Structure 1
Amino acid sequence: MDSETRSYRTGSRETVLDLTDDCRGFVAGRGDGLLHVFVPHATAGIAVIETGAGSDDDLLAVLADLLPADDRWRHAHGSRGHGRSHVMPALVPPYATLPVRDGRLALGTWQSVCLVDLNVDNTEREVRLSFLAG
């Protein structure tokens, strides 16, 4: 297994950050296998969704409806509603495992690999990419 950790700046706003190009570059030329993408944070997740046509904003809107940024959360340090960021990985898991064929991600036409981060208190995220040869 070959692994690499990359850092991403997510800023101080909720974000869906497209990692697809980085994932493609990581698996290029590696043959068949699996790419495992993992974010080692308690308040972020990995989603495989369409981006660029509004779906990324729709995902943030759904998460805002399901997990409002208000004072209901018992985990209450940080910015208002911070506790929701700790619940989000139950809905958007902190990992995804994707097929790789002949050194290329075997994604559907409109699928992208994205980091989902609602935590406005942390502006830096790490993502671990691991290739498991088939």
Structure 2
Amino acid sequence: MSQNFTTRELDVRTGSRETVHDLTRECASFLRDVAHGRDGLLNVFAPHATMGVAILETGAGSDDDLLAALRDLLPADDRWRHKHGTPGHGRDHVLPAFVPPHATLPVVGGELALGTWQSVCLVDTNISNANRKVRLSFLG
């Protein structure tokens, strides 16, 4: 198999609220442009210190459940040593230890090989930075 590497940077606006932002369509569009029916790997990387990438079901409450669990685990209060930004912003810098800023996913026949209810999502609890970048890379 010939190995080809292609990458693209996306601009994503996540808003001014904690959010789970579905990137599945953008990933599929990127693969339509570059995979050309090949098998390979898609890497999704968020080059930010306060954001993660998760694979989960969306639209049925799991995205809200994840945000609620993160609020319980990482409350936005004054306990954090990292103090700049909005109150509790230090917890945003801890988030990537729990929701890593990357995911590598299989691509089969040029299409993302996700499970039935799986979506590729950004998890962003940083309400002070709505303009984000995401790097998609295909190796196949």
TM-score (norm 2): 0.94
**Matched residue, 1:32:** 39
Q: Provide structure 2 residue ranges, at least 5 long, that are not aligned to the other structure.
A: none
| 1:51 counterpart letter in structure 2 | T
Distance 2:37 2:77 in 1: 46
How large is the Cα RMSD of the aligned pairs? 0.6
1:70-119 CA distance string (max 9 Å, x none): 00000011101000000000000000000000010000000000000000
Distance 2:37 2:73 in 1: 39
Distance 1:63 1:88 in 2: 8
Alignment of 1:75-90 (within 5 A): 75-90=82-97
Look up the SS of the partner of 1:65 in the other structure: helix
- Matched-pair identity in %: 68
Q: How many residues align?
A: 133
Distance 1:57 1:80 in 2: 21
Distance 2:136 2:49 in 1: 17
Deviation of 1:11 after TM superposition, in Å, equals: 1.1
**Aligned mate of 2:134, from 101, 124, 127:** 127
Distance 2:37 2:52 in 1: 25
Segments of 4+ moved more than 2 angstroms: none
**Matched residue, 1:44:** 51
TM-score (norm 1): 0.98
